[in-house]
Amino acid sequence: MQETRLDTARIRAARRVIDPVFLDTPLYRCEALEPDLGCTVSIKLETANPVRSFKARGTEVVGSLLAGHGSRAAVCASAGNLGQALAWSGRGRGIDVTVVASRFATVAKLDRIRALGARLELVDGDHEVARERAAAIARHDGIRLVEDSLDLETCEGAATIGLELVDTVPAFDAVLIALGGGALATGVGHVVKALAPEVEVICVQPLGAPAMTHSWRRRRVVTTDSADTIADGVAGRRPIPAVLDDLLLVADDAVLVRETSIMAGMRMLLDHAGLVVEPSAALGIAAILEDRDRFAGRHVVTILCGSNVDVDAYHRWVGAASTHRP
């Protein structure tokens, strides 16, 4: 395999600094999903932890490095999950955390960031506007800017999921990974291609937020003017060049799915697995729903990456899914 920015030895070392509460998350075959999907499905449940998403694997690595260097402040931009994770990791290490988010972000995520003790600054506009503001704060205050997907710690923390997959799951044929900024996809993809190269790495993104998928297909950065999807956790518009370079080396495919399929996937996970997930976590199921023939008879693993969701919106989405098939 050609070299990405990631390093497998560092990824193994990351497990030693991540709080065990975020490691070895539930991983099991979900047979109840299989009649409707037409394939063997295993799910990796990254919601069973204090911040209900995979992001703390990366912020634990960031927090450990900051504390080791005596740094006591950090800032990030977040749609909600990274902010919660950095706040959690910072609180335990005495690091002052500032999170910049869009004022249109999910209220439940913003409330949790505040509850974890971080300073929250809201901006008009989307996540890209928040990224610009976070960078300005870091420059002005001289503090660490944590940039999801660009910072290797966020990618290598997420990559520990890949170690758990290849060490635990009996032979599987494909892994479906939500694609946003790219930390999860490049991290898990790196480990899978290094240790189980026969496994197909498939990234999944909403049709309404396709920038990284278009970039992967064209092998160059493609930006979009807007993003329109219920999957706020993957709704970026400006891919990071270095992250795209890594993705090009580890992803076998990148696919786009419809909003109706995302909602149907959320509904299936509720009905057949008893799991409440946010839209980004249902992208893998949505991909199978839209292309059952591709996955027929195969063993597919999908990572359920988060469950921070507005309750009212969730009920609207899964209610709509009950009357529509993708």
Question: Counting beta carbons within 10 angstroms of the beta carbon of residue 58, is it exposed (0 to 12), middle (13 to 18) or buried (19 or more)?
Answer: buried
- The tens digit of pLDDT for each residue in 13-43 reads 999 999 999 999 999 999 999 999 999 999 9
Q: What is the mean pLDDT of residues 69-76?
A: 92
2 has a pLDDT exceeding 90: no
Q: 254 or 128, which is more confident?
A: 254
Task: Report CA 190 to chain centroid distance, whole Å.
Answer: 15
pTM as predicted: 0.95
Examine the pLDDT at 8 and tell me if it is beyond 70: yes
Q: Which fold is adopted by the domain 54-145?
A: Rossmann fold (3.40.50)
For residue 30, give the nearest of 302, 263, 228 by alpha carbon: 302
Q: What is the pLDDT of residues 97-141, one digit of tens each?
A: 999 999 999 898 999 999 999 999 999 999 899 999 999 999 999
How is the chain split into domains, by residue range? 8-53+151-319, 54-145
Amino acid at the residue 271:
D
Per DSSP, the three-state class of 226 is coil
Alpha-carbon distance of 50 to 178, in angstroms, equals: 21
> Which element (helix H / strand E) includes 156?
helix 152-168
pLDDT digits (tens, 9 = 90+) for 167-201: 886 789 999 999 999 999 999 999 999 999 999 99
Per-residue confidence (pLDDT) for residue 40, from 0 to 100: 97
φ, ψ for residue 177, nearest 5 deg: -125, 130
Fold designation for 8-53+151-319:
Rossmann fold (3.40.50)
The yes-or-no answer to whether 8-53+151-319 and 54-145 have a common fold is yes
The CB-side HSE value for 258 (13 A sphere, CA atoms) comes to 10
In the predicted model, what is the mean pLDDT of the chain? 95
323 has pLDDT over 60: no
Rg of the Cα trace of the chain?
A: 18
The pLDDT assigned to 168 comes to: 82
Instruction: Please tell me the predicted confidence (pLDDT) of residue 1.
Output: 65
| Dist. CA 117–CA 129, nearest whole Å | 23
Residue 314, pLDDT score: 96
Measure the CA–CA gap between 260 and 324, rounded to whole angstroms.
Answer: 7
Q: Dump the DSSP string for 123-136.
A: ESS-HHHHHHHHHH
Model confidence at 234: pLDDT above 90: yes
